[in-house]
Structure 1
Amino acid sequence: MPPMSPMSGNLASFRFADVSNSTTLGATRLTAAEAFSILSQLALASRRGERSLCRKSAATVRALASASDRNRRRLAASGAACVLAAAFRGFSRGGGSESFDILCGILSSLVLVFSFEDEEVLSDLGSPESLDSIVLILRCGDSSERSNAALVLKEIFSFDGDLARAAARVEGLIEELVGLIRDPISPRCAKAALLAVFHLMVSADEWMAARLVRMDMVRLVLESLVDSESDKRMSEVALAAFGRLCSFEPGRKKAYENALTMPVLVKKMFGVSDLATEHAVSSLWVLCKNWQGGEEEGRGGGCVGEALQLGAFLKLLMLLQVECREGVRERATDLLKHMYENEHGVGCIDNKDFKGLRLPI
């Protein structure tokens, strides 16, 4: 953004005492100059550490952005996310507990105008002091404030895998998110926390994956997939997260032990989206190819046998008859061959299944 200037005199209609008047603000057509002046005031208050003025400025941004989509776009285009993220980082220094109310207000304004494609925003919100403050809000905020904190983390994690892995090591961050999933205080908050953790899983390294597995996230992911029948995006992210955990041995072990694993994966192969199909097939491939047998062998012939009994073989055949990405086609073909060779008398494959195929296997 260009250098900040003092607030101009043409902002009389935005007196801080009037920010709660949604009727007035809803009729306001915010100009670029007015947006710039409001953000200038906020940046100046932040740099000077003026808590009261910063709180009021953030409230003005929040009220205007909430009043109309046009105002929200105007503020976003004027760099509101950068100003708010810098203010959040500034008031996080020295311990966020001293500025808790201000930080919550800034974050609730930020979620209305943020753009996490901006490296400056990511740098400020991903700083150690900012992440500590976000954890504090997750722990002590009300339902709306916790939802905002989880939403911000979700956006950070989905955009920058390196930052996600670094954030996972911040004390208490994962625990607070998982706590919001296990004991939800509102549907919005639980969904935001789920998406944040799922995006964290997608970027997980071996250390993080092992930690998430110990926190019973394999079960939580599978249960969320059962509950997300009508939510395509949630299913896609959850399947991606599950696949990442299954790429490590501890995650596969938990997946083999869970009775929901095969039914959920086979069901999600169709009826959600191409991306969900890709993730479901990939997880099935990883689990079936790495199956070593064991105590669960009696459960329908183990991993492969259970998948066959649930109709995975026919679904894979159907998948090969439609357009799909080459990587998905290769894994589906390899998985079909593996199932055929390891049927072990389960009796779920019939040579008639191969008749009339449009494309050869």
Structure 2
Amino acid sequence: MSSLWRRRRGGKSNRRDEINSGREVRVPTHFQCPISLELMKDPVSLATGITYDRESIDKWLDAGNVTCPVTNQVLRNSDQIPNHALRKMIQEWCVDNKSHGVERIPTPRVPINPYEVSDICSRMAAAVRGGDDRKCRELLTKIKNWAKESDRNRRCLVEKGIGAEMMEALARFSMEKHADLLKEMLSALTWSFPLGVSKLKSPATLRCMARFLMGDDLASRRDAILVLKELLINSDDGASVVEGLMGIEETLFQVVKVPICPRTTQACLVIIHHMMMVSDEKMRSRFVQLGLLALLLDILVDGHASKKACEKALAVLDEMCSSEQGKESAWGNALTIPILVKKILRVSDRATESCVSSLWKVCLGGNEEGLVEAVAVGAFQKLLVLLQLGCAAKTKEKASELLKFMNVYTNKVQCFDSSMGFKYVKSPA
């Protein structure tokens, strides 16, 4: 369907304007993108000779398609040649129809190519090795401007590994002399994934990240958390990373306690979860002593918390309950079991697995009171429904074992509907 523009009225209009006010301007067919059917802003031609708007064909190719949308021919390459002649014709048409409210299409910026990115990566590496902070700042400004122009530019920068070169700067420049430059580098790294993981794991880089985490600048702390989250997710040796970050537990706790933004809180929970998984029981005990359990339960009780935040909070809670001190802390809080039961089948499959696993750790092993309380808040019925709907093998095994022990108390305990909230639960001391 052709795009239509109606003339915009403004101020006084003469007789001719009044006649033209009802006219519709139809976009010529050869000015329309075959994919979006909209006026092309940046026409480019493929090897098949068909011209598309750059944004539309980029989306087509990014989706994994390898054919020309019009001819259905397999593309020998994905080169896009700007069709300058057609663009000038479109711009002239826009000028001719200005009186009808058609705005001129600005001349688009030419996207960067891999050769330009490779060149700037080499120059950045040389500037970092030479300790030339002025040159690094100049190149970083150019990189950031390229990234702002289009998603295509940003993808090209990331694919060529610009993030790894910026990470090298964190290891080589000192915080005392080059703090502002390092902050800018860190900010740029938040969109430069995947990063050079090997360079991120260097002791000097990790020390720099730790200093940002424990600093007073909230923006830099946020950026450091986002970068570290990606590192831990993609690293095949999380233990060495965590070892280089020892001492940041209280900072992470404070980020959860006094949130910077939802995205940062979620990233922080991911970091804590990985730290617990790859470390010994002392790490879990450290977070228990700081009071992390109460913060996790606050997130889960909060009706405005996102599903992602709840999912990550439940994963951390489950990992915390893997230690004896964690289980004692969880059992000592009156909200733990009611919340775990309520969240079963309410958030996501992964969250349900975490809930069942946490209940299994807290209630079994001689904790008769825990089993009784779980039955009282409806755990028996929810676990039965879970088994009927189906779940992962490990979750099924734990749910079956919980049902076996809970069955003894089903006829002896007055049950409450956990979906009704926690008004009947006594607040923890």
TM bin (shorter chain) = 0.7 to 0.9
**Equivalent residue, structure 1, for 2:194:** 115
**Equivalent residue, structure 1, for 2:181:** 102
Q: Once the two structures are superposed, what CA deviation does each residue of 1:64-109 show, in whole Å capped at 9, x if it has no partner?
A: 2233211111001111122122222222xxx433322121111111
Q: Which has the higher helix share?
A: 1
In angstroms, what is the RMSD of aligned CA positions? 2.6
Deviation of residue 147 (structure 1)?
0.9
**Equivalent residue, structure 1, for 2:401:** 334
**Equivalent residue, structure 2, for 1:36:** 118
Deviation of residue 199 (structure 1)?
3.4
Q: Once the two structures are superposed, what CA deviation does each residue of 1:211-258 show, in whole Å capped at 9, x if it has no partner?
A: 111111122222222337663332222222111110110000110111
Secondary structure, counterpart of 2:389 in structure 1:
coil
1:254 aligns with 2:329: yes
Question: Which structure 1 segments of 5+ residues have no match?
Answer: 1-23, 294-301, 350-361
Letter in 1 for 2:387: L
Q: Once the two structures are superposed, what CA deviation does each residue of 1:114-149 show, in whole Å capped at 9, x if it has no partner?
A: 215xxxx22222222212211221233533221110
CA contact (8 A) 2:222 2:260 kept: no
CA contact (8 A) 2:203 2:244 kept: no
Deviation of residue 162 (structure 1)?
4.1
CA contact (8 A) 1:213 1:254 kept: yes
From 186, 193, 196, the equivalent of 2:268 is: 193
CA contact (8 A) 1:146 1:189 kept: no
Deviation of residue 48 (structure 1)?
0.7
- Cα distance between partner residues in 2 of 1:187 and 1:241: 16
From 233, 251, 257, the equivalent of 1:176 is: 251
Letter in 2 for 1:180: V
- Cα distance between partner residues in 1 of 2:199 and 2:303: 33
- Cα distance between partner residues in 2 of 1:202 and 1:36: 38
**Equivalent residue, structure 1, for 2:378:** 311
Deviation of residue 263 (structure 1)?
1.9
Q: 1:146 to 1:199 in 2, by over 3 A?
A: same
CA contact (8 A) 1:269 1:277 kept: yes
**Residues 79-90 of structure 1 aligned to structure 2 (within 5 Å):** 79-90=161-172
1:159 aligns with 2:222: no
**Residues 233-244 of structure 1 aligned to structure 2 (within 5 Å):** 233-244=308-319
Letter in 1 for 2:291: D
- Cα distance between partner residues in 1 of 2:279 and 2:303: 23
**Residues 1-361 of structure 1 aligned to structure 2 (within 5 Å):** 27-91=109-173, 95-116=174-195, 121-140=196-215, 142-160=217-235, 162-164=237-239, 166-167=241-242, 170-227=245-302, 231-292=306-367, 302-342=369-409, 345-348=412-415
- Cα distance between partner residues in 2 of 1:320 and 1:191: 29
- Cα distance between partner residues in 2 of 1:63 and 1:188: 24
- Cα distance between partner residues in 1 of 2:171 and 2:163: 12
- Cα distance between partner residues in 1 of 2:107 and 2:312: 37
Runs of 4+ in structure 1 over 6 Å off: none
- Cα distance between partner residues in 1 of 2:190 and 2:287: 27
Which structure has the larger Rg? 2
- Cα distance between partner residues in 2 of 1:345 and 1:245: 31
Deviation of residue 313 (structure 1)?
0.6
Length-normalised TM-score, structure 2: 0.66
Letter in 2 for 1:163: G
- Cα distance between partner residues in 2 of 1:197 and 1:231: 18
**Identical columns (%):** 37
Structure with more contact order per residue of length (Cα contacts < 8 Å, sep ≥ 6): 1
Letter in 1 for 2:176: S
Secondary structure, counterpart of 2:116 in structure 1:
helix
Q: Once the two structures are superposed, what CA deviation does each residue of 1:131-184 show, in whole Å capped at 9, x if it has no partner?
A: 221122123353322111011111222333743565256353222222222233
- Cα distance between partner residues in 1 of 2:215 and 2:306: 29
- Cα distance between partner residues in 2 of 1:219 and 1:133: 30
Q: 1:171 to 1:335 in 2, by over 3 A?
A: closer
Secondary structure, counterpart of 1:140 in structure 2:
coil
CA contact (8 A) 1:84 1:110 kept: yes
Deviation of residue 342 (structure 1)?
4.8
- Cα distance between partner residues in 2 of 1:179 and 1:169: 20
- Cα distance between partner residues in 2 of 1:277 and 1:149: 30
Question: Structure 1 stretch 223-232 or stretch 174-183: which is displaced more?
Answer: 223-232
Letter in 2 for 1:111: T
Deviation of residue 329 (structure 1)?
1.3
Letter in 2 for 1:31: N
- Cα distance between partner residues in 1 of 2:415 and 2:278: 37
- Cα distance between partner residues in 1 of 2:241 and 2:158: 27
Letter in 2 for 1:216: G
